Structure 1
Amino acid sequence: MFVSVSCFIGTTALLFLYLTGANKGNIPWDTAYHCIAALFYLSTSFLEALATISMEDSVTYEQYLENISAAMFSYIATLLYVVHAVFSVVRWKWPLLDDS
C-alpha cells in the first residue's frame, strides 16, 4: 500500500512539474522518479512472493491464488516502470532522439 500511495503522490507531483514547465531544467525528474518507483515495486514484488511462499500451507486455495496474482501483477508493474525508466534515461542522455 505504501508503494502505491507513494507512486500516486509522485506521479501527481510529476504531472504538476510538467504542467508548470518546471521540468525544463537540468534535473531529469521523470528519470529519477521512474528509477525510484521501479526500485520500490521490485522490493514489494520480492516481499509479496516471499509472503506467498511462506503461507502456502496455512491458507485456503483461493487466498493462495490471490497472493500469486498480486505477486505477478507486482512484477509486471516493476517491469513497466523499468522499461519507462530506460526510455527516460535514453531521452535524457540523447535529446536528439526526442521529437519534441
Structure 2
Amino acid sequence: MAASTSQSTGSLPSGLAICVTLPDMFYLPELVTGGLVWILVASAHAQPPNPLGWVMFVSVFCFVTTLLWALVFAAGGHRNGPAWAAADFAYHALAALFYLSAGVSLAFITFVLKSADFRIYQIDIAAVVFAFAASLLYFIHAVLSSLRWKHF
C-alpha cells in the first residue's frame, strides 16, 4: 500500500488512515523513539538531576501527548477544519523544539560528566541519539503538518 502524501482539501485522516498518510504515519516512530529516550534516561544515574529532569519531562510529556493525539485522530474525535490542522502543526513544532533542547542538554551533560561506568556512558549516548532522532521526527511531522494546514 503506497503512502498518500496529500489528502483531499479540507480533510484530516481518521481511523486506520493515520497509518498510511503523511504526516500522520510518524506517530508510531515518534512514540518509539520518545519511549526509548524515557527508558534510557530513567535507567541511567540522575546526576545532575536538573537537566535530566527536563529530559524526563519532555520525553514523558511528548509520549503521553502524542499517544493521546494519535488516539483522537484514530478515533475520529477531531473535526475537519483548519483549527485542528493548525493545532497539529503547533503541537509537533513545540515537541520538536522541546526534544531539541532536551537532546542538547543531555549531550552536554553526557560530554561533560563522562561517567566512569562505561555502561552508563553508553546508555547516555544512546539516549542522546534517540533524543535527536525524536526531534528530527517531530520536526518532519511539523513541516508536513504545516503543508497540510496551508492547503486547508
Q: Which is worse superposed, 30-39 or 5-14?
A: 5-14
Alignment identity in percent? 41
CA distance in 1, matches of 2:110, 2:89: 31
CA distance in 2, matches of 1:33, 1:11: 9
CA shift in 2, pair 1:29/1:13, >3 Å: farther
Kindly report the root-mean-square deviation, in angstroms, between the aligned alpha carbons of the 2 structures.
1.7
Residue of structure 2 in register with 1:81 after alignment: 138
Residue of structure 2 in register with 1:51 after alignment: 109
Deviant stretches of 4+, over 6 Å = none
User: Within 5 A, what are the aligned runs for 1:1-100?
Assistant: 1-15=56-70, 17-18=72-73, 19-22=76-79, 24-27=80-83, 28-56=86-114, 58-95=115-152
Instruction: Give the TM-score of the pair, scaled to structure 1.
Output: 0.80
1:20 CA drift (Å): 2.1
CA shift in 2, pair 1:76/1:12, >3 Å: closer
CA distance in 1, matches of 2:131, 2:91: 17
CA contact (8 A) 1:14 1:29 kept: no
Aligned residues: 93
Code of the aligned partner of 2:61: S
Code of the aligned partner of 2:59: S
CA contact (8 A) 2:99 2:135 kept: yes
CA shift in 2, pair 1:50/1:13, >3 Å: same
